[in-house]
Amino acid sequence: MNLSELLRRPLASVPEPERVALMAELGRMIANRIRAVEMWDQPPEYFGYPEFRHWREAYPADFESRAFDYASASPTLDFFAERFAQALDAGGPLNTVLDDGGDVFPYVAVMIGNFLTDRQRTNDPVGYRVFKNLEAVVQGLELAGTAILSGLHDRKSKPGRVRRATQVRFTTPTGPSPTAPLLELLLAADSLRGSLHKLSKLGTGAQRLLGLAVAALPGAGVSSFEFGELLVPLQTAVRDAVRVWVDCPTAIPALGVLADGEIISREIRKSDSRSRYQTLNEHFDVVRREVRAAIDTGNYQDRTRNAMCCVLDDWFAHLAAAGADGDAHPPLDDWARQLGVKRSTLWDHLERLRGIIRQALARIEATGR
């Protein structure tokens, strides 16, 4: 279909079959763009379309026989309403290109790319920021001469763009062959311990933490990796870390979420030791004392130990006041202000406490207290 010829006529005068064909073509361009940026196998919910489990549900394989599906798919309709129709209005960029006798196809392709980028930035901000942070890190390694990037996406008169298939090859010597998955090796770096959630922020601070971890991979035996091989699991790990305290605050019952996805408060309520206490608060008190003892004997600086105890006591006081079905914790911003600490500092203390609470529950169960 020649988009330019079709669009030179007012859409209201275009017969219905041709309008469906136009929308289907826009849908096909969207599907092709999703494939081009290697997001076809990622959940559509990252772009704000949770009604689809897979992109093929929106854009089936056989375009010719399923053109109406392409035309009526939610992303197609959203693009048309939010970007395309406005660009066709008098004075709009597409209208200007048509008046000048130009080909609108390249311009529409750029519009679709911007549309999808904005959708991901809005609906999957964490995944988008992790990508941009990791992209900046590997580009920085190349500039420093410690890595070579190959398989970049060519762009006219511009530097190549990093894609999932881009190969990152280190020029520095490597240690013995790695014995663990790539993500596990990355997360073992000191710079990311207790700081994984910080990669959800886009900027030099997050890139410094991530850069130290990536630069340490050769020492763990990694000589090269595919960008997407590290990106996808890292995005998932950071999303999970952020979801614990930010994305689903109303869905997190008291005491937060374990790393494996089990809810600590649910474990408390279902534990055998819970039945030995008359009230949930009484059981909370036992857990708090066990955690406090672990903090007191732990290898922490006095300042960190005191801050953790303060957060712990404040947290359990909130739980006692909130009851069995109350909020997991106060809103983080309010809580940080109340304690007089930065939100990121409070977040670090909560992550430390999560692990200690998990161990405390195990000891309580084992000792039958």
DSSP string for residues in 262-277: -BHHHHHHHSGGGGGS
Task: Tell me the pLDDT of the chain averaged across its residues.
Answer: 80
Question: Mean pLDDT, to the nearest integer, of 201-225?
Answer: 92
Using CA atoms, how far apart are residues 172 and 174, in angstroms rounded to an integer? 6
Helices 332-339 and 302-322: crossing angle in degrees, nearest 10, is 130
**Distance between CA atoms of residues 37 and 40, nearest Å:** 8
Report if pTM > 0.75. Answer: no
Per-residue pLDDT band for 252 (boundaries 50, 70, 90) equals: very low
Q: Using an 8 Å Cβ cutoff, are 80 and 26 in contact? A: yes
Convert the pLDDT of each residue in 60-78 to its tens digit.
998 999 999 999 999 999 9
Contacts of 49 (CB under 8 A, 6+ apart): 58, 74, 75
pLDDT for the residue 258 = 32
Report the alpha-carbon angle 231-237-240, nearest 5: 140
Confidence at residue 86, expressed as pLDDT on a 0 to 100 scale: 83
Confidence at 259, pLDDT banded by 50, 70, 90: very low
Query: Looking at this protein, which amino acid is placed at residue 38?
Result: E
Report the pLDDT value the prediction gives residue 345, as an integer from 0 to 100: 77
Helix, strand or coil for residue 150? strand
Residues 6+ apart with CB under 8 A from 301: none
Helix 343-367 to helix 302-322 angle, to the nearest 10 degrees?
70
Phi, psi of 152 (to 5 degrees): -75, 155
Cα distances (Å, whole numbers) of residue 12 to 9, 74, 137, 229: 8, 21, 49, 48
pLDDT in tens, 108-120: 998 999 999 899 8
Q: Phi-psi bin for 203: left (phi > 0), alpha (psi -120 to 50), beta?
A: left
255 neighbors 353 (Cβ within 8 angstroms): no
Distance between CA atoms of 6 and 267, rounded to whole angstroms? 62
φ and ψ at residue 345, rounded to 5 degrees: -65, -45
Q: Is the dihedral of CA 200, 183, 346, 290 positive or negative?
A: positive
Bridge partner list, 169: 148, 224
Instruction: Write out pLDDT tens, residues 302-320.
Output: 888 888 888 888 887 877 7
